[in-house]
Structure 1
Amino acid sequence: MDTIIFDVDDTLYDQTIPFKKAFRKVIEGPFTEEEIEKVYIASRKYSDVLFEKSQRGELPLLDMHIYRMTAACQEIDLSLSDQKAIEFQEVYLEEQQKITLFDDVEKLLELLLSRNKQMAVLTNGGEDHQRMKIEQLNLAKWIPEDRFFISGSIGHAKPKKQVFQFIEEKLSLDKSKTVYIGDSFENDIIGAKQVGWHAIWMNHRNRHQSDESIQPDKIVSHPKELLDVFSPLNPLL
């Protein structure tokens, strides 16, 4: 592969860490790690469902934050007030400002840089919020500033074809030598495959594959496996 493009959330770093810290700080109760993980996964599901409406301005961002958290908590039979959902979001944002790369992802970025691979980032979200994460992860150490693509500033979001085609044009990509790495099957894998890119599914949450007609080129269950994928002996390269 000549070009490797990364998702950010729960691909380059463990998104459950800031989520779980915020949950423990804001929501009282003897919750198990498994219960909080279930709430996290549900919150991502509801976030994906509502993201397009929020991006189009049909749903205020605050309302999306409230709904995704209150609905997610209902999946463990926990009734959460709107005020608590707002408080959670505020603390969650504070914790996101402390995120760090997966150790093995950092090694991968170093490896790809040493091989002069073109790297980029494509992430869904608001410009300011996602930019904060990019800066906190210090991604500019490996990836030039003009290769950070955020849906909020592009006007289209994954899995729409337009956002992938936008990047193709900007970077003059060769589809056959481009691979996208992300944790969401619906947004990342379907999005990349429908425009002819290669796709690696970082399925470290053991999520269900929602469409068997679309297959990722590789599935990994741990960031360390990405290092093996980009070994010179791997036929994907």
Structure 2
Amino acid sequence: MYKAILFDLDNTLLDYTSSELDAMHRAIAQHRLLELGGFEWETFRSVFAPINWTYWSERVERQIHISQVLHFSFRDTLAQLGFDPSLSDPLAKTYWHLFCNTCHVMEGAHHVLLTLHGRYPLGIISNGIGEAQRARLKTGGMDHYFDHLFISDEMGLWKPDRAIFDSAVHAFGLDHSEVLFVGDSLQDDYIGAERSGIDFCYYNPVGLPIGELHQPKFAIQSLSELTMMLDNR
């Protein structure tokens, strides 16, 4: 029987993609980039995405702060598209402020948290940035559901390192067998939970093939299935 439930945050409870696009659209509009000759949203987005992913992926090794990740990403994108790269700093600051105060949630997230809250202690394990994750949860009226938040940049630990999972289990004062972790990533969430000896529930809303290398304890396509699954145990 589980005595605590841990969740991944982005694309499990919070819709990261929708929040990012919303904040990006509004930041571009505020800085009037759409009025620049030759500016096209789809082109900007397609160039920005791989540049941003590279800086984000290298941020820990290179010790790059999130503000630098965004500044460099906007700078390189603007330069590649032939626009003034000096716009990058104010654009990055506006985007980050908007993103931290934007909360689009995954379908069923509010209901599942309302249902589980009070029945189980709840926690978050996230590879995101603490400033953003805490602010987005508060904006969405979801922060009060959680007893503990374990956020990578605050702890200096990143999934799938088992240490961040172990820290969460110890904070609840439970055995690993008494905790269930719910997440959408087989790479970060499943592997980290498996290394730590925590049962994993794979949230797979689009029905991606799992393959033989991964064997999650449970797999669900909607968050509502989680409460039904727990009720039947």
TM-score bin (small chain): 0.7 to 0.9
The whole-number CA distance in structure 2 between the counterparts of 1:51 and 1:212 is: 32
Amino acid at match of 2:214: I
1:179 aligned counterpart, secondary structure: strand
- Give, in angstroms, the shift of residue 61 of structure 1: 3.2
- Aligned identity (percent) is 19
- The superposition leaves residues 174-212 of structure 1 with CA deviations (integer Å, 9 ceiling, x where unpaired) of 322322122333222211121111222334477786x85
Contact 2:7 2:183 in 1 (8 A): yes
Match in the other structure for 1:3: 4
Give the number of aligned pairs.
Answer: 221
Contact 1:4 1:118 in 2 (8 A): yes
The whole-number CA distance in structure 2 between the counterparts of 1:44 and 1:182 is: 23
The whole-number CA distance in structure 2 between the counterparts of 1:21 and 1:214 is: 33
Match in the other structure for 2:215: 215
- The superposition leaves residues 15-51 of structure 1 with CA deviations (integer Å, 9 ceiling, x where unpaired) of 222321233342644545x995x77875785466224
Contact 1:193 1:214 in 2 (8 A): no
2:11 aligned counterpart, secondary structure: coil
Contact 2:186 2:214 in 1 (8 A): no
Match in the other structure for 1:17: 18
The whole-number CA distance in structure 1 between the counterparts of 2:206 and 2:75 is: 21
Contact 2:6 2:123 in 1 (8 A): yes
Instruction: Tell whether 2:153 aligns with 1:156.
Output: no
Structure with higher Rg: it is 2
Instruction: Tell whether 2:135 aligns with 1:132.
Output: yes
Which is worse superposed, 211-220 or 16-25? 211-220
Which is worse superposed, 182-191 or 160-169? 182-191
The whole-number CA distance in structure 2 between the counterparts of 1:205 and 1:39 is: 26
The whole-number CA distance in structure 2 between the counterparts of 1:105 and 1:93 is: 24
Match in the other structure for 1:62: 67
2:122 aligned counterpart, secondary structure: strand
Structure 2: 5+ residue runs without aligned partners? none
Contact 1:108 1:226 in 2 (8 A): yes
Partner residue of 1:92 out of 73, 95, 99: 95
Amino acid at match of 1:226: L
The whole-number CA distance in structure 1 between the counterparts of 2:53 and 2:174 is: 31
- Give, in angstroms, the shift of residue 234 of structure 1: 6.7
- Give, in angstroms, the shift of residue 217 of structure 1: 2.9
Contact 1:70 1:79 in 2 (8 A): no
Partner residue of 1:52 out of 60, 71, 78: 60
The whole-number CA distance in structure 2 between the counterparts of 1:202 and 1:123 is: 15
The whole-number CA distance in structure 1 between the counterparts of 2:41 and 2:167 is: 43
Amino acid at match of 2:4: T
Structure 1: 5+ residue runs without aligned partners? none
Contact 2:15 2:106 in 1 (8 A): yes
Task: Give the alignment's TM-score, normalised by structure 2.
Answer: 0.73
1:188 aligned counterpart, secondary structure: helix
The whole-number CA distance in structure 1 between the counterparts of 2:44 and 2:219 is: 25
- Give, in angstroms, the shift of residue 108 of structure 1: 0.3
Amino acid at match of 2:140: L
The whole-number CA distance in structure 1 between the counterparts of 2:11 and 2:214 is: 21
Task: Give the alignment's TM-score, normalised by structure 1.
Answer: 0.72
